């Protein structure tokens, strides 16, 4: 596998919709050193600039095990993978880390990040290390399009987290 190289945010290139919708990310939060972390597969989010900072926006439902980690820790990582790991990401998005060591059921290996405590993964082709800078809860009374309500039949609206992108490492496809 091609080694990862540091990518300045202004030089980061990707098809953002493809990355979230087709390739997916692992959102990982916690502390690699103490092995207290959890990961979940996400396909909703955004990347951009806010308050003159490169940022990643992710959303987590309060029912997800990762939600507690996102509220407890100050940072998170987003890791994208080559297509051969799609089955592993699917598994990590369908079972909870609350009940078992779900990462052990995959071919993936947590690894220390460079600038944050949350882990990344050795097999990732893209790693974004983020420090939380904002959060808020989605409010149904602010949904302007009625089609959004179908995503919240259980009234478990997501919490939104903005993370300042502190470090990006990726393969040459992201340069």
Weakly modelled stretches of the chain, pLDDT under 50: none
Q: Give how many domains the chain has, as a whole number.
A: 1
What was the pLDDT predicted at 165? 98
pLDDT of residue 7: 98
Q: Look at residue 36 in the predicted model and tell me its pLDDT.
A: 97
Per-residue model confidence as pLDDT tens digits over 55-88:
999 999 999 999 999 999 999 999 999 999 999 9
What is the pTM assigned to this prediction? 0.97
Structural domain boundaries, residue 167: 5-174
Where residue 88 sits, what CATH number does that domain have?
Answer: 2.30.110.10
Provide the pLDDT for residue 1.
72
Query: DSSP string covering the chain, please?
Result: -PPPEE--GGG----HHHIIIII-EEEEEEETTTTEEEEEEE--EEEEEETTEEEEEEEE-TTSHHHHHHHH-SEEEEEE--GGGHHHHHHHHHS-TTTS-GGGGSS--EE--SSSSS-EETT-SEEEEEEEEEEEE--GGG--SGGGGGGGTTS-PPEEEEEEEEEEEE-GGG-
């Amino acid at each position: 596998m091609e080694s990862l190289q540091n990518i300045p945010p202004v030089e980061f290139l990707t098809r953002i919709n493809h990355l979230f919708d087709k390739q997916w990310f692992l959102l990982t939060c916690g502390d690699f050193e103490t092995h207290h972390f959890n990961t979940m597969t996400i396909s909703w989010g955004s990347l951009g600039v806010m308050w003159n900072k490169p940022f990643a926006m992710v959303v987590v439902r309060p029912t997800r095990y990762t939600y507690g980690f996102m509220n407890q820790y100050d940072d998170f990582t987003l890791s994208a993978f080559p297509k051969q790991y799609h089955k592993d990401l699917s598994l990590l998005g369908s079972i909870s880390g609350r009940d078992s060591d779900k990462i052990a059921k995959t071919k993936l290996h947590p690894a220390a990040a460079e600038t944050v405590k949350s882990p990344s993964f050795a097999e990732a082709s893209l790693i974004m290390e983020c420090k939380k800078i904002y959060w808020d809860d989605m409010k149904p009374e602010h949904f302007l399009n009625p089609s959004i309500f179908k995503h919240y039949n259980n009234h478990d609206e997501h919490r939104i987290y903005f993370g300042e992108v502190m470090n990006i490492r990726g393969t040459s496809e992201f340069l």
